[in-house]
Chain A
């Protein structure tokens, strides 16, 4: 599949994921706006509001373009809270697509941080240690009970139904520590049911631009 660049409503770029271009890596209503809202504001930011752990262990399902990861790095550095990031990604992007996305100047992050994380699968900068694992979540063997936060950013339930299943959510439930959280952009009924069936408690939150709702799930303490 040859991904193409799409310019979203806020001017930030993203990629197509299918030939028709109906499935894309981020929201058409604003790639950057969606990521900032769902994963930072409703995700990392809650660790500031409620006195959270001194450092945050973060797992992202779908590292993709690295947009979320770079926003996480910026957040960690701005708040001086160490974040230990693991990103899972079975489908690594080509250097040409990464260059065409133009993220470092848009986000104002050092070019080398962005490219090194992609090319070396590892980045160690102040307050942010990151590893990208070239694997699907289903085959990832992480330390159970250790993650504070999961960014669940797989392709949509319409496009990739099997990953939004109770079985996969069970795996994430076990990777999270008690009290740990999962945020995702979808609030579909099937997704809510699968998360509840796994034992998560759910919060429906107002969605990012163009979406009514999003979800935050908590592994009960």
Chain B
């Protein structure tokens, strides 16, 4: 895979500026063209009535992970927006920490197909909580309408 140091620098800069991820407490563990790894400590406000992490939170984690996996592979003069997002919930997330990996499946100039998995640790093995896929749309910075 092509390594673009500018794209990785973009990931770090844009992650630091991402107010929603910061608000939730999502941390960037590592970034490369191959994968983005994120970590999140589950707090009471992340949980639904049964005490599990809210599904929307895990979808966000997967989305952020896949979005940055696309940024890591996209031209630096572009933005990345989620085109579609699919997620299957396999196990309830109890925490205390969940982590996600997002990676590209196919990189095109307009679309980056990505996948992500979210895990938590359970007695020496990693329990798969959800599996997601997304098509990330690459848009030239000049074409983003606000």
Residues of A at under 8 Å CB distance from B?
1, 90-92, 94-96, 99, 110-116, 119-120, 134
Contacts and interface: CB of A to CB of B under 8 A. Distances in A.
Interface in B72-104: 97, 99, 101, 103
Highest count of chain A CB atoms <10 Å: which of B37, B97, B103: B37
Highest count of chain A CB atoms <10 Å: which of B29, B31, B121: B29
Given A115-B37, A120-B103, A96 B32 contact: no
27 contacts: A90-B124, A91-B125, A92-B124, A92-B125, A94-B97, A94-B126, A95-B99, A95-B121, A96-B39, A99-B39, A111-B30, A112-B30, A112-B31, A112-B32, A112-B35, A113-B32, A115-B30, A115-B37, A116-B34, A116-B35, A116-B37, A119-B35, A119-B37, A120-B35, A120-B101, A120-B103, A134-B125
Contact of B97 (A90, A92, A95, A120): A95
Interface of A is mostly: helix
Nearest to B41: A96
A94 B35 contact: no
A115 B99 CA distance: 12
A120 B125 contact: no
A116 B29 contact: no
A191 to B, nearest CB: 25
Contacts of A96: 39, 97, 121
B140 to A, nearest CB: 27
Contacts, number: 48
Closest 4 CB pairs of A and B: A112-B32, A94-B121, A115-B30, A91-B124
Interface of B: 29-32, 34-35, 37, 39, 97, 99, 101, 103, 121, 124-126
Interface of B is mostly: strand
A110 B5 CA distance: 12
Contacts of A90: 124
Nearest to B122: A94
Nearest to A110: B32
Given A95-B39, A95-B121, A116 B32 contact: yes
Nearest to B72: A112
A23 to B, nearest CB: 15
Contacts of A115: 29-30, 35, 37
Contacts of A119: 35, 37, 99, 101
A96 B126 CA distance: 12
Contacts of A94: 97, 121, 126
A116 B69 CA distance: 13
Contacts of A91: 124-125
Highest count of chain A CB atoms <10 Å: which of B30, B31, B103: B30
A90 B126 CA distance: 11
A127 to B, nearest CB: 15
Highest count of chain B CB atoms <10 Å: which of A91, A99, A111, A115: A115
A96 B98 CA distance: 10
A120 B34 contact: yes
A153 B29 CA distance: 27
